[in-house]
Amino acid sequence: MKVVDFLMQKRDGFSFHAFELKELVSPSLREHWHDFVNKANKSQLGALIDDKKAASNDDVVVEVAEKFEVIEKSAPQVEDAPKAPAIVMKPEAEALYNELTATLGEVIHTGNWLMVDQERINKFAAVTEDHQWIHTDPERAAAESPFKTTIAHGFLTLSLLSVLTDSVDPENQKFPTAKMTVNMGMNQVRFPYPVKAGNRVRATTKIQSVTPIKRGLEIVQVLTVEIEGVRRPGCVAESVIRLHF
């Protein structure tokens, strides 16, 4: 097949399917459909084909092919992105990496039970200035709340994750070989069931992923807060931390 015929066929094919393509785009794009088609028809390649579509001799075919090659060469070339240098882990980081990757999806830590009483809830309300009656008014909660008692703030439950996962006790460090642990944030957080005043809670930890980074490891953990005597958890959080060695 001649180059001109091939290019004309491709452009004509687009025109033939233009109506079908239009039906596939969103309504907001359909408003600009004619502008899009006109620009496509007025492109450098489209104009070149229109100028030469009546000719059929070999010289013209060669000319079109050569100009088409120039068009391709004139387009900006995207260079391959430089590859990032390989991460060289320190021995203690590599040892922990191997240890944690062998336990992915398993519970690696279960904390101690912690009481969430009304005094703790009131102190959190004072610090955050969140004094909603469902948290701080036991009498009204007993009369009007579906839980018949006050409940802890969801953010109170979330803030207890540090102590519930033994992440703040210098005498009982979760990752003792790391020099420093930095909290990078949460991918997602849910509070499936409220923690009522007087409940005891504890947290379990599962490792979801471990990624080597410069001078350390990035760890994604799934932290689940259990409520004593309750089937549903009080909090499920996907936490991201970085360990530096």
Pair 178, 200: CB distance under 8 Å: no
21 φψ region: left (φ > 0), alpha (ψ -120 to 50), beta (else) = alpha
Asked if residue 68 is part of any domain, the answer here is yes
Q: Are 227 and 108 within one domain?
A: yes
Residue 109 near residue 162 (C-beta atoms within 8 A): no
User: Range of 208's domain?
Assistant: 91-244
Instruction: Report the distance separating Cα 228 and Cα 200, nearest Å.
Output: 6
- What domain count does the chain have? 2
CATH number at residue 234: 3.10.129.10
The tens digit of pLDDT for each residue in 103-143 reads: 999 999 999 999 999 999 999 999 999 999 999 999 999 99
pLDDT at 15: 45
pLDDT digits (tens, 9 = 90+) for 183-240: 999 999 999 999 999 999 999 999 999 999 999 999 999 999 999 999 999 999 999 9
Asked if residue 17 and residue 129 are part of one domain, the reply reads no
The reply to whether 55 and 98 lie within a common domain is: no
Q: Show which of 24, 41, 74 is a domain's final residue.
A: 74
Report CA 5 to chain centroid distance, whole Å: 47
**One domain, residues 239 and 128:** yes
Inter-residue contact 190 to 235 (CB < 8 Å): yes
Claim to verify: residue 104 and residue 23 sit in the same structural domain: no
Tokens of 65: 């092919």
Say if pTM beats, i.e. exceeds, 0.75.
no
Q: Please give the helix or strand (H or E) that residue 239 lies within, else none.
A: strand 235-244
Once rounded to an integer, what is the mean pLDDT over residues 89-108? 94
The Cα–Cα gap between 14 and 169 comes to 67
Q: Which of 205, 193, 179, 183 is nearest to 235 (CA)?
A: 193
How many helices (H) does the chain have, and how many strands (E)?
12, 6
pLDDT at 170: 78
Are residue 193 and residue 109 in the same domain, yes or no? yes
What pLDDT is attached to residue 88?
A: 87
Query: Is the same domain home to 141 and 213?
Result: yes
Same domain, 126 and 163: yes
Q: Is residue 81, in this structure, part of any structural domain at all?
A: no
Give Cβ neighbours of residue 224 (< 8 Å, ≥ 6 apart). Answer: 203, 204, 206, 233, 235, 236
Are 8 and 61 in a shared domain? yes
Helices (H), the chain: 3-16, 18-24, 27-30, 33-41, 44-52, 58-74, 91-101, 118-128, 133-136, 138-144, 154-159, 161-164
Q: Are residues 60 and 129 in the same domain?
A: no
Domain boundary at 74, 109, 127, which? 74
How far is it between the farthest Cα atoms of the chain?
96
22-81 pLDDT per residue, tens: 555 555 555 655 565 555 555 554 554 455 444 445 554 445 445 545 445 555 565 666
CA-CA-CA-CA torsion for 148, 197, 111, 174, nearest 10 degrees? 130
- pLDDT band for position 91 (cuts 50, 70, 90): very high
Residues 127 and 155 in one domain: yes
The mean-pLDDT minimum among 47-51, 149-153, 178-182 falls in 47-51
Which pLDDT band, with edges at 50, 70 and 90, does 7 fall under? very low
Please, which residues have CB within 8 angstroms of residue 181's CB and are 6 or more apart in sequence?
A: 167, 174, 175, 241, 242, 243, 244
Model pLDDT, residue 45: 46
Whether residue 195 is found in the same domain as residue 111: yes
CA distances 29 to 11, 40, 43, 65, Å, are 21, 15, 20, 34
- pLDDT, position 222: 98
Check pLDDT > 90 for residue 5.
no
